[in-house]
Structure 1
Amino acid sequence: MTAGFIEALLNADRPVIMELKRQDATGRDLFGGRSVEDIVAGYEDAGAPCLSVVTGRWFGGTRALLHEVAQATELPVLQKDFLTRRSQLWQAREDGASAVLLTAALLPRTTLGNLIEHSVRLGLTPFVEVTTEVETLRVPRGEDCVIAVNNKDITTRERGTGNVGRSSELLPTLRRTGTPCPVSASGIGRPDVAARLIREGFAGVLVGTGLLRTHSLSDWLDDFDRERRERRELP
C-alpha cells in the first residue's frame, strides 16, 4: 500500500485526482478497449498525483479493478464505493487502497465518526463526500480527512450534469472543518471549470468521465494548466 494521499495532492503540480471507472451513470463504456495498465500509464505520464478507482456496481466496478490498478501503480489510490462497515475498510487496504470514500449522506453521525477513526488507524485517508452544509459540519477529525463536495446527486445515481456551483458555495464551510485538502468532485467535464475551482481555493479536483472521454488527455491537461496560469497573471 502506498501512503500519503493528502500529501501527494497538496504537493502536486497538477492537482487532479484522475479516475478510472468502467462506465458512466447511464451504462456507457468509458474504457473504450483500453486496458487498465494503459489508462494508468497515461495518467502517470500526465502527472497524476493520485488515482481514484470506482468499484461501485452502478459504474461497472469491482474490487478486482481496485486490486488491478493498485498493482499497476505506486501512486496513492482512492477506492470509491459505498463503504459502510469496518470490514470493508480492511478489504480496501488489502486490495491496495490508500484512501477510502465515506459518504456522509449515507452514514449516521456516530457511524461516520467510527469509520473515520478506524480508517486513520489502518493508515487509510478518509475521503469524506458531502453535499450540504449540515453534512459538512458533522464530519469529525477534519484535519485528517479529505473533504470533497460531490457535485452530483446520489439519489439519482449521479445521472445528469451536476451542479459545480455547489462546490463554490460549500468551500467556506469545508474550510471550517480544518481539512487541509478540500476537493471538488464529479460533474467537472471541462478544463476551464477545473481550473476555476482550483483558483477559488480547492486543493484538488476529481475528474473521471471528462478525462476518460477526452480525445487527448494531454490537451485537456494543457488547457487546465493554461487556464490556471493565465488567470494568475491577470493584473
Structure 2
Amino acid sequence: MTLEFTHALTSARRPVIMEVKRQDADGNDLLGGRSVAETVARYERAGAPCVSVVTGHWFGGTEDLLAEVAGLTDLPLLRKDFITSRSQLVRTRELGASAVLLTARLLPAGVLARLAGHALELGLTPFVEIADEAEAAMVAPGPHCVVAVNNKDIATRERFPGDLGRSTDLLPAVLRTGARHAVSAGGITDPRRAALLLDAGFTGLLIGTGLLGTPSLTQWCARLDEARG
C-alpha cells in the first residue's frame, strides 16, 4: 500500500529511517563487520519504523541487497538509487520496496512528476530528494509523497560532511510545496542535532553512516529521546 511507508514514519515514536549501506563512496566498509541480517536485526531492536536500502553502485549496492533485506524484515523499505524510468519503478516494487528515491537534481520537472505519478500507481511512496530552493520549486507532491532535503552533495558523491543548516534553511521552501512529510537526510551523526531537526518541524530523519558507525545504537537512540524531552 502507498500509505505503508508514510504511516509507519509519521506514527513512530522515534521517526528515524535507518539505512543499510555497504560502503561509502571511497569503498570503505560501513557495516563494521556485521552481516546484512545482523544490521537489520539491530535496527529492528532499535525500533526503526522504516529501513532505507542503498542499491546504488557508488555505495556497493545491488538489487540483490534490497531483495535480501526484504526477506529479513516486514518493515517498509525505501530503495535509494538513481531512478530514471518506469521500468526501474516496477522492478523496485517487485523487489519488495514500499518507497523509492527520486532525485530532483537528475530529473527535469516533467519527468519527476511523471515518475512520481507512476510510483503512486504502483503503490510506491515517492521520496523526492531536493538540495536547493529551485529543486524544491520543481516538486508538486501529492499527500502521500515525502520531500527530503539532502544535506550532502551528490556532485561529490557525498564524500564530505553534510551541512545540516541546509535542512533548516530549506524547510520553509519544502513546506511551501504543500508537502505533508518532510525529511532531513544525510550527514546526521549527533543525536542532539537530530532532535533539533525534528523540533524544527521535520516529519522524520534518514540516517545511514551516523548509525552504522555508532558503537551503541541503543545509546544513540536514548540520547535522541532525551534531547527531545
Tell me the amino acid that sits aligned with residue 177 of structure 2: T
User: CA shift at 1:177, angstroms?
Assistant: 1.4
2:136 corresponds to which residue? 136
C-alpha distance in 1, partners of 2:47/2:112? 32
C-alpha distance in 2, partners of 1:76/1:113? 23
CA contact (8 A) 1:103 1:128 kept: yes
CA offset digits 1:146-187 (Å, max 9, x no partner): 000000000000111021100000101111112111000001
CA contact (8 A) 1:2 1:75 kept: no
SS, match of residue 127 in structure 1: strand
Same amino acid, percent of matched pairs:
60
CA contact (8 A) 1:143 1:177 kept: no
CA contact (8 A) 1:136 1:177 kept: yes
- Alignment root-mean-square deviation, CA: 1.2
1:15 corresponds to which residue? 15
1:29 corresponds to which residue? 29
1:111 corresponds to which residue? 111
Structure 2: 5+ residue stretches without partners: none
CA contact (8 A) 1:19 1:208 kept: yes
User: CA shift at 1:27, angstroms?
Assistant: 1.5
Structure 1: 5+ residue stretches without partners: 230-235
CA offset digits 1:7-61 (Å, max 9, x no partner): 1110001110000000112221011221111111111111100000000011000
C-alpha distance in 2, partners of 1:70/1:190? 28
Task: Report how many aligned residue pairs link the two structures.
Answer: 229
Tell me the amino acid that sits aligned with residue 125 of structure 2: T
CA contact (8 A) 1:194 1:224 kept: yes
CA offset digits 1:178-200 (Å, max 9, x no partner): 21110000011111111110010
C-alpha distance in 2, partners of 1:23/1:16? 20
Tell me the amino acid that sits aligned with residue 221 of structure 1: C
Report the TM-score, using the length of structure 2 for normalisation. Answer: 0.97
Report the TM-score, using the length of structure 1 for normalisation. Answer: 0.95
Tell me the amino acid that sits aligned with residue 176 of structure 1: R
SS, match of residue 4 in structure 1: helix
2:83 corresponds to which residue? 83
C-alpha distance in 2, partners of 1:117/1:8? 21
User: CA shift at 1:2, angstroms?
Assistant: 8.8
CA contact (8 A) 1:2 1:76 kept: no
* More divergent stretch after superposition (30-39 vs 158-167): 30-39
1:198 corresponds to which residue? 198
